[in-house]
Amino acid sequence: MLPRRLTAREVFEQQRERLGLRWLAGQRGGENSIEAEEHRTRRPSLAGYLNVIHPNKLQILGREELQWLDSLDARQRWETLQKVCDFRPLALVITRDQGCPSDLREIAEETGTPLWISPQAGHELLSQLQYVLARALAPRITLHGVFMEIYSIGVLITGESGLGKSELALELISRGHRLVADDAPEFTQIAPDVLDGTCPELLQDLLEVRGLGIMNIRQMFGDTAVKRNKYLRLIVHLVRAGDADLEGLSRLTGETAARPVLGLDVPVFNLPVAPGRNLAVLTEAAARLHSLRAKGADPAVAFLARHAAFLDKTSHP
């Protein structure tokens, strides 16, 4: 699993244009950071309105928060601001381009606490910053394989080296499916039951096939042949197999299993690689079958129920 860390300067640079951020004070606190481990244990959240009891890592000061500070006497106000900065927040953000109190700017500069201002409303800042922080610090892992979109389903093709994963991916692309990432797709848990797969920037749009080398799929097949990201829903695992192995497969349910990825069980179809087997068609069928099962329609279960009903009928004429 990849370690995650985010600094105040990184957040500011990433969101400056979108949120109209300006840096008012505390520039030397640009390296203030939050770790992924802290993200999983924080209370109540990464970003939120000013809270001096359970401080958010990124504190938003809207109209109500500034009015509350104004209601305090001079001593209470300074002690409160000092307490807020002592928690070492990632940053403080003033909403709606409100005037920044001079004492807030002063203490932010003294303590090296990044102080930003934005023309956006508080709820807009909160929604965007919570999303950005949660996604950036979410658990992430890199898996070996080719990640594709097949019939709108995110499918990871895995298997030993030399089994033809890239050749299979190339054939699927020629059949109209889309490439997300080859060799080292990255998966991020963006929700309790959602794994989002993306491609490392270095490998974007590229597919390596033995004998042909590295190909740029976007240039060869067009923009519609690649996709920036996709949720992982299925793994198709290629395995070496002889005739004896094929005979031992379950004829009703196929070779299915589950693989844990960041604590989530992802369904797996094990497809034996053998002469005469069209892996592209089989992979497409696996995606369609998974889609049916996700909707509650399992052909194997339906057949077994039909078979049991038939036996019951014949045994009790």
**pLDDT tens digits along 201-259:** 999 999 999 888 999 999 999 999 999 999 999 999 998 876 445 555 555 556 578 89
CATH number, domain at 17?
3.40.1390.20
The answer to whether the bond into 44 is cis (omega within 30° of 0) is yes
Total domains in the chain come to: 2
Q: What is the pTM of this model?
A: 0.72
76 and 109 housed in the same domain: yes
Q: Can you give the pLDDT at residue 37?
A: 59
144 and 276 housed in the same domain: yes
Specify whether 144 is catalytic.
yes
Q: pLDDT digit string (tens) for 164-214?
A: 899 999 999 999 999 999 989 999 888 888 999 999 999 999 999 988 899
Residue 194 lies in a domain: yes
Query: What stretches of the chain show up as alpha helix (H) in DSSP?
Result: 8-19, 36-41, 63-70, 74-86, 102-111, 122-137, 165-174, 217-221, 243-247, 279-294, 299-315
Q: Can you give the pLDDT at residue 171?
A: 95
Q: Can you give the pLDDT at residue 1?
A: 45
256 and 223 housed in the same domain: yes
Q: pLDDT digit string (tens) for 94-104?
A: 999 999 999 99
Q: Where is mean pLDDT largest: 18-32, 129-143, 245-259?
A: 18-32
34 and 118 housed in the same domain: yes
Residue 214 lies in a domain: yes
Cα–Cα separations (whole angstroms), residue 181 to 149, 185, 229: 10, 5, 9
Specify whether 237 is catalytic.
no
196 and 280 housed in the same domain: yes
| pLDDT over 50 (residue 311) | yes
**Per-chain mean pLDDT for the chain:** 86
146 and 295 housed in the same domain: yes
Contacts (Cβ under 8 Å, ≥6 apart) of 184: 142, 143, 144, 200, 203
Tell which phi-psi region holds residue 24, choosing left (phi > 0), alpha (psi between -120 and 50) or beta: alpha
CATH number, domain at 185?
3.40.50.300
Q: Can you give the pLDDT at residue 150?
A: 96
74 and 20 housed in the same domain: yes
Cα–Cα distance for residue pair 202/206, rounded to 1 Å: 9
111 and 188 housed in the same domain: no
104 and 148 housed in the same domain: no
Given the residues 183, 196, 230, 237, select the one marked as catalytic: 183
Q: Can you give the pLDDT at residue 272?
A: 86
Q: Where is mean pLDDT largest: 35-49, 126-140, 208-222, 249-263?
A: 208-222
Examine the fold and report which residue of 137, 156, 176 is the final residue of a domain before the chain moves on.
Answer: 137
Range of 182's domain? 140-306
Q: Can you give the pLDDT at residue 243?
A: 43
Looking at residue 52, what DSSP letter applies? Answer: S
Specify whether 306 is catalytic.
no
Q: Can you give the pLDDT at residue 244?
A: 42
Residue 316 lies in a domain: no
Residue 227 lies in a domain: yes
Query: Residues for the chain: how many in total?
Result: 317
Residue 159 lies in a domain: yes
107 and 33 housed in the same domain: yes
Residue 313 lies in a domain: no
115 and 224 housed in the same domain: no
Given the residues 39, 57, 165, 178, select the one marked as catalytic: 165
Given the residues 251, 295, 313, 316, select the one marked as catalytic: 251
Given the residues 144, 228, 240, 288, select the one marked as catalytic: 144
Specify whether 165 is catalytic.
yes
For residue 194, the SS3 value is strand
